[in-house]
C-alpha cells in the first residue's frame, strides 16, 4: 500500500464540519508552561495540533477524529476539549 | 424516595454503542420506556474498535446474531508475533473448532451498530441520533440512605442524585440514566464518578481500514470462505513504546493498527503517527497490505488498566457501562472490550430492571448491576487478569524477548557448516548476549504464569 500522509488519510474520511463552533480550545500560556503543547502535537493521530514558529499551538479542529487522547495527556487547564455538537464531526463509515 | 416530577422515560441510555444498545434493548424487552440518545448523525458513525468481538455473549442476547448482524469474518486463526527490525517469531494457531461454534468475529462498528440500534427500535426503544448530551441533571440526593449504611466509595460520595440529562436547551428526565458514552465518558466525570485516569492506564489506538479483494485476503491469510485471521504483534512495531500492533481480516478489507501506552509515548517523546507509519512500512507487515486502498483512518482511546480502571459504576439514579466504565482487558493473547460491554449491559439491564421493579433507583437499589457484573464471566475475568496490565507494562516484553527468541532460532536454523550445538547451549549463548538475564526469565515466567 502506498504510504499516505495524515491529510491524505483524513481525506478518505467523511466529516460534517461545524463551521460555527470549534470544540477545541488551547490555553497557550498553560500549554507552554506545562509541556502540554508538545505532548498534544505528538499524540494526536489526526495532527490536529501544530506548534507554530512563535511557540503557540494552532488547532485544526475540522480534522479531529474525536478520540480524546489530547485531553488525557493535557495538564489541568491547558486544553478545553469536548465532543462536537450533535451530528457534527467525523462520521465513520467503516469504524 | 420522593419523586418530584413524573419522568419522561423509565431509562435514558446515552450512547448507541454496543453497551448502550444492549442495555436499551433488554430494558425495552422488559417492557420499560427507554430513550437511547446518540451524538452521531446515525448510530455507529462515531464508533470504532480494533475489530475482534468475542461473540458468545452477544449471541445470547440476539440468538440470530451471526446470521443477521453485519459481521465480517469468523476468526479461526490467531497469531501472536514478536516483531523485531529484521526478524519475527510467532505463535500461529489455526483451528476449525473456533468456527463451530463461532467464538469470535471481526466487526466494523459503523456497520454493526446501526443493526443493534435497529434491534432496539424493533423492541420499542426510542432512538434519538444527532443529539449530544451536555450534562447530567442532578438534584440533592438523600443525605444518608437508610439501605446504604456502609460508607460509599470516595468517588461515589457525590451527594447528588441523577434525574436526567440535558442536551442543548432540552431537559429529559428518567428514573435511571445509563452512561454508555464511551471511554471518555463525560457523563461519569460530570457526575463525579470518574477521576482523570493515570496515563499508564490509557493507550491510543490508530487504525486504517485497507480495502483488498476478498480472494486476495483469503489467499494472503490462508483462509477459506468467511474464516478470518487475527494477528497481534509486539516489539519493533511500536518502536519500543509499550503497546502492540494488530491486523484483522474483514470480508473485503483489513483493519491494521497500533495501540501505544500514553505514559510511554510521552516519556519517550515519540510521535504516534511515526510509530504507525513505521509499522505499516515494516518488511513483514507491508506485504499483507500490498495493493490495498485506504478506506478509512481512525483512532480510539483505550482503557488498559483492567480491574483498576473500574471505579464506581453505580450512583443514585445512574449506572455506567462498557468503555465508559473502563471495561477492557488485555491478557497478552486476547484483547477484549466489546464482549465486556455486552456483559456489563446485560448486568445493567438486570440490575436496573430489579431497581425499577422495587421502585428504588438509589445507589443501593441499583447495586444489583455491580453484583451481577462481578458474578458474570466477564467480571470474574477482570479479577482473574487483574495483574495482567502491570505485567504487560514491562518494557522487556516490547524490546528484548523478541530478539532473544529470534537469536535462539537463528542459532538453530542457520546451518553455517560449523558443527551443531544442542539447543539448550544455543539458548544459553543467546541469553548471554542479550540484555536479559536468567533472573528476568524466571521472574517474568512466574509473574506471567500468575498474571495471564
Question: Given a cut of 70, is residue A78 above it in pLDDT?
Answer: yes
Please tell me the predicted confidence (pLDDT) of residue B443.
Answer: 85
Q: Per-residue confidence of chain B (452 residues) as pLDDT tens digits? A: 455 568 999 999 999 999 999 999 999 999 999 999 999 999 999 999 999 999 999 999 999 999 999 999 999 999 999 999 999 999 999 999 999 999 999 999 999 999 999 999 999 999 999 999 999 999 987 644 434 433 333 334 557 899 999 999 999 999 999 999 999 999 999 998 888 888 989 999 999 999 999 999 999 999 999 999 999 999 888 988 989 999 999 999 999 999 999 999 999 999 999 999 999 999 999 999 999 999 999 999 999 888 877 878 999 999 999 999 999 998 878 889 999 999 999 999 999 999 999 999 999 999 999 999 999 999 999 999 998 888 888 777 777 889 999 999 998 899 989 988 888 888 898 899 888 888 888 888 888 888 88
Q: Which residues of B95-131 are buried (b: 16+ CB within 10 A; e: fewer)?
A: eeebbeebbbbbbbbbbbbbbbbebbeebebbbbbbb
pTM, two decimal places: 0.94
In chain A, what residues touch B186 (CB-CB under 8 Å)? Answer: 82-83
Q: Domain range holding A50?
A: 6-85
The structural domain count of chain A equals 1
Residue ranges of chain B assigned to CATH 3.30.9.90:
202-303
In a domain, A94, yes or no: no
CATH superfamily entry for domain B9-72+108-194+311-386: FAD/NAD(P)-binding domain (3.50.50.60)
In a domain, A42, yes or no: yes
In a domain, A91, yes or no: no
Q: Are B362 and B145 in contact (CB under 8 A)?
A: yes
In a domain, A95, yes or no: no
Q: Kindly state the average pLDDT of the residues A14-40.
A: 96
Residue A83: which of B132, B272, B290 has the nearest Cβ? B132
Q: What is the CATH number of the domain that holds A79?
A: 3.30.70.20
- The answer to whether B301 contacts A89, with C-beta atoms less than 8 Å apart, is no
In a domain, A45, yes or no: yes
Question: Where do runs of H (alpha helix) occur along B282-437?
Answer: 286-289, 338-357, 363-366, 368-375, 377-384, 388-392, 400-413, 423-433
Question: Given a cut of 50, is residue A40 above it in pLDDT?
Answer: yes
In a domain, A93, yes or no: no
User: For testing the chain A interface, which of B283, B287, B297 should be mutated: the one with the most A CBs within 10 Å?
Assistant: B297
In a domain, A21, yes or no: yes
In a domain, A10, yes or no: yes
Distance from the A50 Cα atom to the nearest Cα atom in chain B, whole angstroms: 12
Residue B47: which of A73, A82, A95 has the nearest Cβ? A95
Please tell me the predicted confidence (pLDDT) of residue B155.
Answer: 38
Residue ranges of chain B assigned to CATH 3.50.50.60:
9-72+108-194+311-386
Task: Give, in words, the CATH class of B202-303.
Answer: alpha beta
Amino acid at each position: 500500500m502506498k504510504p499516505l500522509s495524515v491529510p491524505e488519510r483524513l481525506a478518505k474520511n467523511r466529516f460534517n464540519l461545524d463551521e460555527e463552533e470549534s470544540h477545541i480550545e488551547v490555553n497557550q500560556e498553560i500549554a507552554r508552561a506545562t509541556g502540554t503543547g508538545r505532548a498534544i502535537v505528538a499524540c494526536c493521530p489526526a495532527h490536529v495540533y501544530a506548534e507554530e514558529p512563535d511557540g503557540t499551538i494552532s488547532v485544526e479542529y475540522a480534522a479531529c477524529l474525536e478520540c480524546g487522547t489530547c485531553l488525557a495527556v493535557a495538564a489541568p487547564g491547558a486544553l478545553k476539549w469536548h465532543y462536537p455538537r450533535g451530528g457534527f464531526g467525523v462520521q465513520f463509515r467503516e469504524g | 424516595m420522593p419523586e418530584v416530577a413524573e419522568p419522561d422515560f423509565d431509562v435514558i441510555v446515552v450512547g448507541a454503542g454496543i453497551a448502550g444498545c444492549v442495555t436499551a434493548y433488554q430494558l425495552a424487552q422488559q417492557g420499560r420506556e427507554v430513550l437511547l440518545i446518540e451524538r452521531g448523525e446515525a448510530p455507529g458513525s462515531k464508533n470504532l474498535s480494533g475489530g475482534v468481538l468475542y461473540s458468545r455473549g452477544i449471541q445470547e442476547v440476539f440468538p440470530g446474531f451471526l446470521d443477521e448482524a453485519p459481521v465480517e469474518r469468523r476468526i479461526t486463526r490467531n497469531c501472536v508475533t514478536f516483531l523485531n527490525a529484521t526478524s519475527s517469531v510467532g505463535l500461529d494457531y489455526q483451528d476449525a473448532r473456533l468456527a463451530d461454534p463461532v467464538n469470535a468475529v471481526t466487526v466494523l462498528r459503523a456497520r454493526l451498530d446501526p443493526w443493534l440500534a435497529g434491534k432496539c427500535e424493533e423492541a420499542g426503544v426510542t432512538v434519538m441520533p444527532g443529539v449530544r448530551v451536555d450534562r447530567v441533571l442532578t438534584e440533592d440526593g438523600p443525605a444518608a440512605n437508610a439501605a446504604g449504611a456502609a460508607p460509599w466509595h470516595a468517588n461515589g460520595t457525590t451527594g447528588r442524585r441523577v434525574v436526567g440529562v440535558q442536551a442543548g436547551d432540552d431537559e429529559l428526565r428518567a428514573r435511571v440514566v445509563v452512561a454508555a458514552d464511551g471511554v471518555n465518558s463525560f457523563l461519569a466525570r460530570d457526575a463525579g464518578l470518574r477521576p482523570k485516569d493515570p496515563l499508564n492506564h490509557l493507550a491510543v489506538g490508530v487504525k486504517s481500514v485497507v480495502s483488498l479483494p476478498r480472494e486476495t485476503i483469503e489467499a494472503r491469510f490462508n483462509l477459506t470462505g468467511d474464516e478470518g485471521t487475527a494477528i497481534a504483534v509486539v516489539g519493533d512495531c511500536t518502536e519500543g513504546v509499550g503497546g502492540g500492533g494488530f491486523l484483522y481480516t474483514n470480508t473485503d478489507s483489513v483493519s491494521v493498527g497500533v495501540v501505544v501506552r500514553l505514559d510511554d509515548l510521552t516519556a519517550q517523546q515519540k510521535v504516534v503517527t511515526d510509530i504507525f507509519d513505521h509499522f505499516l512500512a515494516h518488511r513483514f507487515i507491508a506485504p499483507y497490505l500490498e495493493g490495498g486502498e485506504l478506506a478509512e483512518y481512525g483512532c480510539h482511546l483505550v482503557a488498559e488498566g483492567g480491574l483498576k480502571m473500574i471505579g464506581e459504576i453505580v450512583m443514585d439514579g445512574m449506572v455506567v457501562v462498557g468503555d465508559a466504565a473502563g471495561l477492557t482487558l488485555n491478557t497478552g493473547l486476547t484483547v477484549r472490550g466489546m464482549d465486556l460491554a455486552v456483559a456489563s449491559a446485560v448486568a445493567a439491564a438486570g440490575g436496573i430492571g430489579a431497581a425499577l421493579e422495587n421502585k428504588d433507583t438509589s445507589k443501593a437499589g441499583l447495586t444489583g448491576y455491580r453484583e451481577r457484573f462481578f458474578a458474570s464471566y466477564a467480571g470474574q475475568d477482570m479479577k482473574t487478569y487483574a495483574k495482567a496490565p502491570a505485567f504487560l507494562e514491562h518494557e522487556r516484553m516490547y524490546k528484548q524477548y523478541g530478539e532473544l527468541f529470534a537469536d535462539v532460532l537463528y542459532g538453530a536454523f542457520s546451518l553455517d557448516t560449523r558443527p551443531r550445538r544442542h539447543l539448550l547451549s544455543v539458548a544459553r549463548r543467546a541469553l548471554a548476549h542479550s540484555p536479559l538475564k536468567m533472573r528476568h526469565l524466571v521472574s517474568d515466567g512466574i509473574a506471567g504464569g500468575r498474571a495471564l
